Amino acid sequence: MKIGFHTDAFNSFAFSFEKALAWAQRNDVHFIEPGLIDGACWIHGLGYFPHVALYQDPALLRQKMAKYGVRFSQVDAAYPLSGKDGPSIGLPYVLKSIPWAAHAGCDHVATTDGLHAPEGLSDDQAMVMMQRCYEQIVRTAEAYGVTATIEVHGYFTTDPDKAEAMLGFVDSPNLRMNFDTGNSFIAGQDPVEFCRRFIHKIDHVHVKDVSPSLAESLRGKDTGIAISHCAIGDGVNADNIRQCLEMLRDHGFDGVLSMECEGQGGPLIEKSLAWLRRTMQELHIPEEKE
């Protein structure tokens, strides 16, 4: 398996994307997952935000990343598709992200639903609307050789039955799951059982732990964790993560384990990286770095 990280680990520390690349190089990490910005933003332009923008040239960015020995595991275009503005805002955003990702040498684009039940829509209405969106997304993804992943993050995707229905919107190998260990846990699900149910659909993994205080206050009451202020291995979800890794190993998963936590400028994510590497060694999971 490969180890990567989401650049939201450095959101609150005025990191640029290039600083995130340098962190990856120093720590021998070769896969990175940024969010995508559709447009210009001063905080990004001044180097205070560790994500990338669609106005950046993807081929030139790919060349810059290669100098650090890093490439994309996935780009995050997960604007909620389940609300009323899903077709008008979320869909065009994803459709622009797919060809950009392909030119940047990235073969995975993350999508998702909203955190809560959509206002003004029934569940059935929202599902029909999302299916129409995903039909267009997958058609474009197939054309560019990109996999659109559905991230376990919101009201629909953290419900296993609804998630299964969403993965069945289009019969295509280009529609897969981005499994999230932390979001499934905070939503009140058993991450191990969630992983077991979708093991044949998982193509990318967000590895996220949950602090005891957050679990006590929000488990079963929320669906997604914006940024986990807990090093992987230090929280109440660590044993679940370990069991999921065993299951993924036995299934032959060779994709990216993308770490998600608040980096605090480095310490938390470095601690997470050490735990993940040590656990992989204990489970006899080789780390692939290319």
- The residue with tokens 């601690």 is 271
* 290 within some domain: no
Span 182-196, pLDDT tens digits? 999 999 999 999 999
* 62 within some domain: yes
Cβ atoms of 53 and 76 closer than 8 Å: no
**Backbone angle region of 83, left / alpha / beta, with phi > 0 → left and psi within -120 to 50 → alpha:** beta
* 288 within some domain: no
- The residue with tokens 């780009």 is 75
* 287 within some domain: no
Q: What is the C-alpha end-to-end distance of the chain, expressed in Å?
A: 10
Phi, psi of 285 (to 5 degrees): -105, 110
Q: How many domains does the chain have?
A: 1
* 289 within some domain: no
pLDDT value at 44 more than 80: yes
**Backbone angle region of 219, left / alpha / beta, with phi > 0 → left and psi within -120 to 50 → alpha:** beta
Span 66-84, pLDDT tens digits? 999 999 999 999 999 999 9
Q: Taking the alpha carbons of 27, 32, 34, 36 in that order, is the dihedral positive or negative? A: positive
Residue 278's CB is within 10 A of a number of other CB atoms, namely 11
What CATH number is given to the structural domain containing 254?
Answer: 3.20.20.150
CA distance 66 to 286: 23
What is the pLDDT confidence band of residue 226, given thresholds at 50, 70 and 90?
confident
Span 212-222, pLDDT tens digits? 999 999 899 88
pLDDT value at 11 more than 90: no
* 60 within some domain: yes
Name residue 151's beta-bridge partners: 178
Cβ atoms of 1 and 258 closer than 8 Å: no
Task: Look up residue 39 and give its two tokens.
Answer: 């447009």
pLDDT value at 60 more than 80: yes
CA distance 290 to 275: 21
* 258 within some domain: yes
Percent of the chain residues past pLDDT 90, beyond the cut:
90
Contact residues for 45 (Cβ-Cβ < 8 A; gap 6+): none
Cβ atoms of 11 and 35 closer than 8 Å: no
Q: Which domain holds residue 272?
A: 2-282
* 109 within some domain: yes
Task: Look up residue 148 and give its two tokens.
Answer: 């659109």
